[in-house]
Amino acid sequence: MVKALFDAIEYESEIEKQFARDLDNNENVRVFVKLPRWFKIDTPIGPYNPDWAFVTERDEKLYFVRETKSTLDSEERRTKENQKILCGRKHFEMLEVDFDFIITAQQIGSYKPDHRNFQKALEVFNIEKQEHLHVAQSIYHDIVPANQLGLNKVWVNRYGEPERTDPIEYPDLEVPDLQSLVRILEIEKA
């Protein structure tokens, strides 16, 4: 995973594994993390552990993903899961934390490097190509399709791979890690 805070993620299900891929592929996601089990929010029916947190390029907010479920239909989930989701929602409303959209490759029916993933994110988030910055580690899955679509792109070259020689593989910026990119973005904002 390119945009994950850590090099490895412990998944609790195939749904979570796919969700992590979807976050990693989502052009608007700057960075994401699978929240550890010890990260809990107290609710009237017991501790609640949101599944994920991520930051977007668009509005620089921290988003919590309350649940990663195979269905959005509350009737298909256990009662206790629905109660915890409701409590979590109320908790975040009190903190004035808003949730916008979640797009999965599974919903779109395609996986990187398919252009539909990138195009759907632009459509759903209602942003223009020039407003998007795709940060990724994979040349084949990320940089090449981002170039083909005319998107801004940063290559996170964690393993010190050689400089690219094919123009379709050229990133707009190359960084060794996400921390370096955050420092650059902070300087740009100043």
This prediction has a pTM of 0.49
Under the banding of pLDDT at 50, 70 and 90, the label for residue 134 is confident
Long-range CB pairs of 59-68 (<8 Å, 24+ gap) are: 60/30, 61/97, 61/98, 62/97, 63/97, 63/99, 63/100, 64/35, 64/88, 64/92, 64/97, 64/99, 65/19, 65/102, 66/92, 66/99, 68/13, 68/15, 68/16, 68/19
Under the banding of pLDDT at 50, 70 and 90, the label for residue 155 is very high
Q: What is the pLDDT of residue 121?
A: 80
Mean pLDDT of 92-113: 63
> pLDDT tens, 10-35?
777 777 788 788 888 887 788 888 88
Preceding peptide of 113 cis, ω within 30°: yes
Residue 95, pLDDT > 60, answer no
Residue 98, pLDDT > 60, answer no
Task: Tell me the pLDDT of the chain averaged across its residues.
Answer: 77
Mean pLDDT of 58-70: 61
Percent of the chain, pLDDT > 70?
Answer: 72
Q: Let me know the angle formed at the C-alpha of 159 by 154 and 161, rounded to the nearest 5 degrees.
A: 75
